[in-house]
Amino acid sequence: MHLIIVGCGRVGAELANSVATKGHDVVIIDRDPQAFDRLDPEFRGHTLQGDVREKEVWNRAGSELANGFAAVTPIDEINLVSAHTARDVFNIPNVVARVYDPVHAPLFKRAGIQTVNASLWIAHRIEQLLVYPGLIELASLGNGEVLVVEVQIPDHLVGENVAALADGGSCLPVALVHGGYADLVSPDMILKEGELAVVAIRSSMLPHLENLLRLETE
């Protein structure tokens, strides 16, 4: 894939390093040439000094051939405008923008731009580690509205049908892991001692899941 990233700060550099390592053709743009020092010495992508608000920069980046675009500067105005340009002018099919200040999130939402709000995600993750230490987050979807978490089957659920984890629809069991081997959930599975369960759940339902796991039989 041909990917364009605007902003070579910590987020942009980490993103560029990651996708380049996976073999994608990457162009990362920044106005400050010293920003590219954050990239790995072995970075295999392309760096482009310039202002993304100038058409020449878009042309040099190969925008007409791009499969994906990410705006991750610390300036929301630039992220919003460049994301608009990528989608509406150059018809790049997959556009993502970072929202630096949560106050500006509604502007991106009204524009229909996919966003990632780093500060909200970090705060949410710290809350999980503090409040729900028994749950291991494997993935966060959207801006954290839906989570994929791993939990250990408690003693009082051993021998129960896997549906017990769903608890009336509060979460969706996805897989069971036993002895390092994972298998997708089927309706007839029985929970075993020492197993781990991977479940998808709305973040608002985490307290409910924690209560289910802590519940003791009488």
Q: In this predicted structure, what is the pLDDT of residue 122?
A: 66
CA–CA separation, 215 and 156 (whole Å) = 8
E-only strand ranges, 33-170: 46-49, 68-71, 94-98, 114-116, 136-141, 146-152
CA–CA separation, 26 and 168 (whole Å) = 45
The β-bridge partners of 71 are 6, 97
Listed by start position, the domains of the chain span 2-116, 121-214
Contact 97, 115 (CB under 8 A): yes
Contact 182, 158 (CB under 8 A): no
Q: Quick: pLDDT tens for 124-141.
A: 666 666 666 667 878 878
Residues 6+ apart with CB under 8 A from 1: 24, 25, 67, 68
Which single residue is written with the structure tokens 């966003």?
115
Q: In this predicted structure, what is the pLDDT of residue 130?
A: 67
**For range 182-192, the mean pLDDT:** 91
- Say whether pLDDT at 215 is over 80: no
- Say whether pLDDT at 167 is over 60: yes
Q: What does CATH list as the number for 2-116?
A: 3.40.50.720
Specify the pTM.
0.65
CA 126, 129, 132, 136 torsion: positive or negative?
positive
- Tokens of residue 152, six digits: 């250990």
Amino acid at position 184, single letter = L
Across the chain, mean pLDDT equals: 87
User: At the topology level of CATH, where does 121-214 sit?
Assistant: Alpha-Beta Plaits (3.30.70)
Residues 6+ apart with CB under 8 A from 54: none
Q: Quick: pLDDT tens for 193-206.
A: 888 999 999 888 88
Going by their DSSP bridges, the two strands 181-184 and 171-178 should be labelled as antiparallel
